[in-house]
Structure 1
């Protein structure tokens, strides 16, 4: 079994919070991870899959049933199927707190953000911590330590069934089925009534523009819908952890800064499936190569970043540009340039942008086999070394 980075974080949070929510897109490995945590635990546990009618029936009187298992860690999978449970959980947690039992009661698994999941005014604020489980990362897949293994992960993406498929054809087939199922079943089950074909076109258009500035009016014109509809579609895809909306850095009022966000389809394998890119050669010859690699690196670094890290990009009308800005803790501000080349160079715009934001570290993440100094205070790092640098920053932030 692949060791997931989120595992230790979940264990730690369960010692401090009454409930922990493990969130991420479907098929990313939430159930597998939760069952592994149960198997490791010496504490009694109860697992309920809320997609199973038999398990949902047990919660007909949820208060009574959950109270009868008070001594157990209760895992509720696919919580979005029973959103009314949020109010019940709030009451149970508050009663147990009054008895002195303050942590480790519930592990909640969901395929969307908490706001979308609960679909009500009930809140677990102060009672719940959240952990996002991303698709598999390069530092979780042993084969990705080599350039060929890393590129295979980039091509196939990080959903375990896609990553671990026997060959590229089976991987692509799985991803195409995943996309269809999400559009035709999973999204409608959450409530939104958007034609599957419209949402597929929207998703595909975003894939074509991977890493580009959001042009909502162009998307609306291409889909034949209003700008408000485009905003609604984008909000939905962000809440489902399928699309990332990276906001511009806006802390310099003296500069004419770009104000539109950049958008990424978060899993590189889904980008390639949406665009019909079947193998690495086809991918490397396609115009999306640079944007796809950039998105792959952005997701990898943000998955390793400390809680509370602020991420953005920097671009001015004068040509200063930074692909990713990481503000880690109170003192660190990293400027990150992302290059598919194994012999990277940096532009004048990167240096200008780094000066503008007072970057404390300047990094170029590249596709080569080793890290080295580029001069002028810039480090050229491999993806693995860049991820390690961010993880080291997380360790330092915890000590701080």
Structure 2
């Protein structure tokens, strides 16, 4: 098993000092178990995917937990929701920080369990696949942008001698048949796979759920329900439009982004670098990658991403806006490898409207060099992290 140093490790260590339970949430195969075991090597490890352990935990939760006087790592704990209220009693009695470590791959069940029984007792880290900074540190960052977009960030793609297409094909069928079917009780898997592929074709676009449903042959209500499960499983995120109005009518629709370009590329039928280089969705996949990197950076620090996009009805758009209490930090995303001066037009428009509130405007692009130009930071893809 390859070990990648994860940026979230410091956040995990910090939370374990202040909460009796730490939970690591994130998609399947993002490295949650590996991180938990590396960070807490002295704690016994139990997977609730194991039928014997699950049966024991379900039938006699008190005795199940009595085996762990010094705490434990409980993997895929959402498989056994009854444990949450028993855990509450144990940690309240012991009053020990960093006592139990939970992992889970579905936000729904994990957060429901935490919210009901463990409110105030859990520090939560969300772990997505490898960020660019983590790949660079591990020496596995691909040489070309097209290879990076094709590979995505799942650790197994880098630690095993497997073509990304083989790994993602297996991931989708396993993930579909296990998790999504459990959450949605879907009868028609082919229909859901069609839905997934239609979502991938819309990554980086405004999301119209009724149109998506119509294209897929399901109702808008079903489309919304399925989309919320993709969100809860950390496969996609919806980025909301920027809310502050600078005297212009703004769009109200969110944008859909996959959180991993390798998965999106596989769903789009892209199987090799040559296809990626020429694919009409390459620009959308690059934008998807930049947005996902921003989400990972926030998650790894234990923060919420706080990102949006700005678009007025005249069609001016700034792809990514981060904000803090005082300022907005806009980023324009361009997949081209050669810098063009008109790339800054939308940033200038936003600056004219927002005035002093705009700081550190950036253009992230698909080229190699990074430089400053007319008050903008132009950032090559390799320097994003």
Shift of 1:321: 1.1
Superposition pairs of residues 305-384 of structure 1, within 5 angstroms: 305=298, 306=301, 307-328=303-324, 330-345=325-340, 346-357=343-354, 358-375=357-374, 377-384=375-382
**Deviation sequence 1:330-352 (CA, Å, 0-9, x none):** 23421011111222332422321
Q: Is the 8 A contact 1:80 1:117 kept in 2?
A: no
Relative distance call for 1:66 and 1:165 in structure 2 (3 A) is closer
Aligned-partner Cα distance in 1 for 2:197–2:173: 12
Match 1:35 to one of 8, 23, 37: 37
Q: Residue in 2 aligned with 1:88? A: 86
Aligned-partner Cα distance in 1 for 2:248–2:109: 35
Q: Is the 8 A contact 1:76 1:109 kept in 2?
A: yes
Q: Is the 8 A contact 1:344 1:364 kept in 2?
A: no
Which ranges in structure 1 are unaligned for 5 or more consecutive residues? 388-400
Relative distance call for 1:159 and 1:145 in structure 2 (3 A) is closer
Residue 38 (structure 2) pairs with residue 45 (structure 1): no
Secondary structure of 1:21's aligned partner: strand
Aligned-partner Cα distance in 2 for 1:381–1:267: 21
Q: Residue in 2 aligned with 1:153? A: 148
Secondary structure of 1:122's aligned partner: helix
Shift of 1:203: 1.0
TM-score calculated relative to the size of structure 2: 0.90
Relative distance call for 1:90 and 1:344 in structure 2 (3 A) is farther
**Deviation sequence 1:63-111 (CA, Å, 0-9, x none):** 34324523x23111011211222222222222333xxx3x111111000
Shift of 1:191: 5.2
Shift of 1:117: 5.7
Q: Is the 8 A contact 1:83 1:117 kept in 2?
A: no
Shift of 1:194: 5.3
Shift of 1:31: 1.4
**Deviation sequence 1:340-399 (CA, Å, 0-9, x none):** 122233242232124434321200111222210121x21101234332xxxxxxxxxxxx
Q: Residue in 1 aligned with 2:71? A: 73
Q: Is the 8 A contact 1:335 1:363 kept in 2?
A: yes
Shift of 1:281: 1.5
Match 1:131 to one of 125, 129, 146: 125
Task: Work out which structure has the larger RCO, using CA pairs closer than 8 Å and 6 or more positions apart in sequence.
Answer: 2
CA-atom RMSD, angstroms?
Answer: 2.1
Q: How many residues are treated as equivalent by the alignment? A: 373
Which ranges in structure 2 are unaligned for 5 or more consecutive residues? none
